[in-house]
Amino acid sequence: MKFHIITYGCQMNVYDSRMVASLFEMDGLEETDNPEDADIIIVNTCSVREHAERRALGRISSLQKLRREKPELVLVVIGCMAERLGDKIPGADFFIGPRKYDRLPEIIKKIVKGKCQISNFQFPKECIPYPNPDGGVTAFLPVMRGCNNFCSYCIVPYVRGNAVSRNPDDILGELRYLRERGVKEITLLGQSVNEYNFGEISFPELLRIIDREALGIRIRFLTSHPAYMSDDLIDAIAECDSVCENIHLPIQSGSDRILKLMERRYTVDGYRHWIQRLRKRIKGIALTTDIMVGFPTETEENFEETLKIVREVRFDFAYMFMYSERKGTKAALFPDDVLLGVKKERLERLIELQNGITREKNEELLGREIEILIERKSRRDNLPIGKTRTGKEVIVKMQNAKTGEYVNVYVESISGWTGIGRTHKREK
């Protein structure tokens, strides 16, 4: 029997899909890239914005044709939308949301009707099996599940449940498992990862523990919440060789009034403070962020405050979104009063500004010699492609640079946002 997985949403969903794949494989099933070959199709969904849900619903509906042609086909919907809507989703056989993932092995068994034994799967107490990285150079490793922050716009705490930090021993176990399988870069995951706390162990402490075991592996982490920043965390990033000079710190808005309505628990000045500390202590650190436009009551003036902080901070990269009302959140009680046309126009202006900055930031790579970890071959010309420690993509003009290898590259040009380099500086 074969299964096929379609994944929407964030890094946590990407990880969860690998976890589900490992469970099916333990039950003797084989993964296939082709939905038409599959006996079981799993759609892993996201609820963060209406658009994300619409895409997944569209996909589920387009799979109905296959279902009609092959009545024994089983369609399973997992992820945040399965939690939020459950069997209100038309056209599927099983629904299971993240709050019930500790029951996945049991449910998968029901789906497969197999006999294979799976022991004690209980996240976060035990995470068995660890998802197989399948020869990949990079992998995700969740250190926390769920979120308690209840930012007023956000559905995640409702669909993912309370924040639970994972036992460091279990985290190290998975880290070793990945290391033994040749993974060279691990991104630690948590909705508010710097809030991690297990007994006496804080997030900076966890980074130090992981650093001792990393042995040549690059470590990144996502997503940090400005309200949980600390000098100790900045010190840990600076001290730990494995931890990359790179932080994702969503600002959301440049207006204190809007930040308050979002219940983000920091001010623009507070945010600025951490940016200054980070840049001072960690040379060349790359800063990325998330920004939302069109939150209820956002005025043109408030939006311009967002543009102002974007100009001031000069993020290396930003994910930018239009506010999307999510039923059940506190912000859904506010009138969604910024007209769609206005939201669109603000988003366009923001993207134009930030993309210019991103381009300029990437141009700073020019003429520099930088360590690149080769991740894969580029699709267009089959050249090795990898990332700097700061997370920027560079194509390496050297056919024999192997995936998983670290190479020192001299960046000689930029195409779009991607650097192009060779391993040795060319003599004039």
Residues within the interface to ligand SAH (CB under 6 A): 48-49, 153-154, 156, 191-192, 223, 225, 250, 252, 290, 292, 321, 323-324, 326
Q: How far apart are CA 423 and CA 421, in angstroms?
A: 7
CB of 147 to ligand F3S, least distance (A): 8
Q: How many residues are present in the chain?
A: 428
Q: How far apart are CA 287 and CA 105, in angstroms?
A: 39
Q: Does 320 bind ligand F3S (CB under 6 A)?
A: no
Among 30, 150, 239, 344, binds ligand SF4 (CB under 6 A): 150
The two three-digit tokens of residue 35, written as one number: 């939905």
Q: Which stretch binds ligand SF4 (CB under 6 A): 14-22, 99-107, 152-160, 240-248?
A: 152-160
Closer residue to ligand F3S (CB): 50 or 241: 50
Among 26, 38, 80, 347, binds ligand F3S (CB under 6 A): 80
Of the candidates 85, 82, 60, 56, which has an alpha carbon nearest to the alpha carbon of residue 73?
60
Other CB atoms within 10 A of residue 34 CB: 8
Check if the beta carbon of residue 152 is closer than 8 Å to that of residue 263.
Answer: yes
CB of 376 to ligand F3S, least distance (A): 24
Closer residue to ligand SF4 (CB): 157 or 386: 157
Task: Give the contact letters, 25-54, x = binds to ligand F3S (CB under 6 A), - = no.
Answer: ---------------------xxx------
Q: Which stretch binds ligand SF4 (CB under 6 A): 70-78, 151-159, 210-218, 418-426?
A: 151-159
CB of 331 to ligand SAH, least distance (A): 7
| Partners of 30 in the β-ladder | 2
Site for ligand F3S in 149-188 (CB under 6 A): 155-156, 159-160
DSSP single-letter state for residue 126: B
Check if the beta carbon of residue 138 is closer than 8 Å to that of residue 182.
Answer: no
| Partners of 243 in the β-ladder | 219
Three-state DSSP state, 27: coil
Q: How far apart are CA 259 and CA 132, in angstroms?
A: 40
Q: What is the largest CA-CA distance in the chain?
A: 67
Other CB atoms within 10 A of residue 414 CB: 18
* Contacts of 105-109 spanning 24+ positions with Cβ under 8 A: 105/23, 108/20, 108/23, 108/24, 108/27, 109/27
Residue type, 45: T
Among 10, 85, 143, 144, binds ligand F3S (CB under 6 A): 10
CB of 27 to ligand SAH, least distance (A): 32
Among 44, 47, 192, 246, binds ligand SF4 (CB under 6 A): 192
Task: Give the contact letters, 214-253, x = binds to ligand SF4 (CB under 6 A), - = no.
Answer: -----------x----------------------------
Of the candidates 153, 192, 159, which has an alpha carbon nearest to the alpha carbon of residue 293?
153
Closer residue to ligand SF4 (CB): 157 or 168: 157
CB of 369 to ligand F3S, least distance (A): 37
Site residues (CB under 6 A) for ligand F3S? 9-10, 12-13, 46-48, 79-80, 155-156, 159-160
Site residues (CB under 6 A) for ligand SF4? 147, 149-151, 154, 156-157, 191-192, 225
